[in-house]
Amino acid sequence: MKKWFSLGLVGLSSAYLAYGLRTLDILDFSGRPGAGYFPLIIGGLLLLATAVNAVLDFREARQGEMHPLQLDPATEGTAELMGVDAHGLDGGRRFPRDVLIILALLSGFIFLLPVLGALAAMIVLMLAYLFTFNQAELLTNVLYALALPAFLYWLFSIILNASLPVGPFGF
């Protein structure tokens, strides 16, 4: 199942890249990066990453498939020594809850985007995400929550002159 999912991701990545190349121009009329610039880069990197993952998954399947709940002996032994439930290492029971949390955070981000503006909504999203999944690192969370949105705002709004939603503070 895993190898077919990886192959499906390669197909979706290929379709994304092809769609971006067919419908968007890489450069605009003045020679600056146009609307197709990022789909080309992101799509190319996405295709490369999913293709490598698919090759590794097919190679793993060819070497001998294990039962989905069976762990390799090294992982199980290490987890047992550390007192960790090894069956929860790859997702486990919390996985559906985490997906729902991320969907709720992204829905909140989409709602807040026109209200607060791009920069403030990104900061709120990053803070909520990091404090949900990385509660122990207060300073690191705040630094990441400020640095990544600031970089993305600088890149898209200032360098690429892309229109981002403007909030009540003018950014």
- The answer to whether residues 79 and 60 touch, using CB atoms and an 8 Å cutoff, is no
Domain locations along the chain: 1-69, 95-171
Q: How close are the terminal C-alpha atoms of the chain, in Å?
A: 45
pTM: 0.55
Query: Each residue of 70-121: pLDDT tens digit?
Result: 555 665 666 566 655 555 555 445 567 888 999 999 999 999 999 999 999 9
Q: Of all helices (H) and strands (E), which one includes residue 47? A: helix 37-63
Distances (CA, A) of 98 to 17, 32, 87, 93, 128: 29, 40, 17, 10, 13
| Structure confidence at residue 26 as a pLDDT band (50, 70, 90) | confident
Percentage of the chain beyond pLDDT 70 is: 80
Backbone angles phi, psi at 128, to 5 degrees: -65, -45
Mean pLDDT in residue range 17-39: 79
